Amino acid sequence: MNDGTAATAPEKLAAGGRAAPRIGAWRRFAVAALIVLAAALPFGLSNYQVFELTQVMIYAIAVLGLNILTGYNGQISLGHGGFFAAGAYTAAVLMHRYGVPYWATLPPAALVGFALGLLFGLPALRFEGPYLALVTLAMAVATPQTLKYFSWTGGNQGLNLAKPSPPPGLGIDRDRWLYLFVFVVLLVAIRIAANLLNGRTGRAWMAIRDHPIAAAAMGIDTARYKTLAFGTSTLFTAVAGALSAIVVGFVAPESFSLFLSVSFLVGSAVGGIATIGGAIVGGFFIEFVPNFANDISDAAPWAIYGLAMLLFMYAMPRGVVGSLGPLAAWLRARLRPGRSR
């Protein structure tokens, strides 16, 4: 009996060792299949449906930025609509007044967003929770009003932009080219976020979120990392704003109301506030749920919208991806060869 038991232990270890690469290979295959499917999807849809999905990806990038700040560093922001507007107007002014190519406006928009994030991240060193939320709320409230008083922003009328044409020789129209362009930016954003969160910076952010005093005692520079989290978060959101200006072809102060900031926070919570994949779910929620609410009731669409939020949060209090994560882990454990029975 002892010999038999001893013999089975290495076999189980070997089976577990073989299972991990196998699961990793299947995961990579599934991700590659999803990317190919998403890239082919616009060629079977109408132009308007392609535009809607492009907007979903733009909102997903913005929500991803908010997830980094709120989900992984524990700082609450109600002002990301203002940073979204900063990125949008950076791209719009560069394209409209200086003739900068649309793709070249993304780095300046990212730089502006990062600089504003660092500026607003400084109060994060002194305020926490609802007090920090009120500081960022000032950004969301003041931005639309401020944009009206400058001629270079177009004032109340905003700025009209010419939508970019696809590169010659591709044989696709403008809507599908913009979809693919935004899709590539989304993939790059997800990759950058994953590398950050799985590395030393991400571990420091999560340590500050969970136990700030213990993190400081361990030698983590909390002031530096909290400010960096704010800047990184607003960088993502500003890039999303620039993409929105490019895709829509128009910017105006009324497009960046306080409700946009609230929508980003709602999308983050519904998708999963401390997840990367939850940003995509949040993008779908922001784009489609208000439209569905209008279709259901013209008289009280926001009541339907609020009910949808309540149902999502009641059924999945950790967000869609956050709630499905344990289920996926359980399924992986069940499918792993050599598991204990």
- Domains of the chain (ranges; CATH) run 46-335 (1.10.3470)
Residues in the chain: 341
Could you tell me whether strands 159-160 and 250-251 are parallel, antiparallel, or unpaired per DSSP bridges? antiparallel
Distance CA 58, CA 241 (A): 8
CA distances from 207 to 25, 213, 216, 221, 226 (A): 30, 9, 9, 11, 11
* Other CB atoms within 10 A of residue 336 CB: 16
pLDDT for res 21 = 59
The pLDDT confidence band at residue 226, using thresholds 50, 70 and 90, is: very high
What's the pLDDT band for 296 if we cut at 50, 70, 90? confident
Q: What pLDDT score does 53 carry?
A: 97
Nearest to 192 by CA among 279, 76, 93, 270: 279
> Cα dist. 122→19, 79, 126, 222 in Å?
47, 15, 8, 12
Q: What is the pTM of this model?
A: 0.89
User: What is the per-residue pLDDT across 128-165, written as a single tens digit (0 to 9) for each?
Assistant: 778 888 888 888 999 988 998 888 888 888 999 988 98
Indicate if the pLDDT at residue 8 is higher than 60. Answer: no
231-269 pLDDT, tens per residue? 999 999 999 999 999 999 999 999 999 999 999 999 999
Torsion of CA 179, 185, 186, 192, to 10 degrees: 170
Percent with pLDDT over 70 in the chain: 89
Instruction: Assess whether pLDDT exceeds 80 at residue 26.
Output: no
- Tokens 């129209």 correspond to 173
pLDDT band at 5 (very low <50, low <70, confident <90, very high): very low
Q: What is the pLDDT of residue 336?
A: 64
Residues 199-216 have pLDDT tens digits of: 999 999 999 999 989 999
